[in-house]
Amino acid sequence: MAWIRQESVEGDYSEMVKPLSINPRAMDAVFEMTQAISFGSSALTPVQEEAIAVAVSVSNRCRY
């Protein structure tokens, strides 16, 4: 859970998107953008996409 205020969210939103719940339109827009550019819309497998996401997160010292 984020340390900032967030609303209760139902659905498949990631923990990175849920803090936007205080602005549902923004949350939906970010979620749709993420779905459009990754997770099945490329030639990479889901495992490869996740591996890249993990490597980038580690490089950026991101907890997600």
For residue range 12-47, what is the model confidence (pLDDT) as tens digits?
A: 777 777 788 888 898 889 888 888 877 666 788 888
Give the separation between CA 22 and CA 6, rounded to whole angstroms: 6
Amino acid at 42: S
Q: pTM value?
A: 0.54
Give the separation between CA 32 and CA 1, rounded to whole angstroms: 21
The CA R_g of the chain, rounded to the nearest whole Å, is 13
Give the separation between CA 33 and CA 23, rounded to whole angstroms: 16
What's the pLDDT score for residue 32?
A: 86
What's the pLDDT score for residue 59?
A: 93
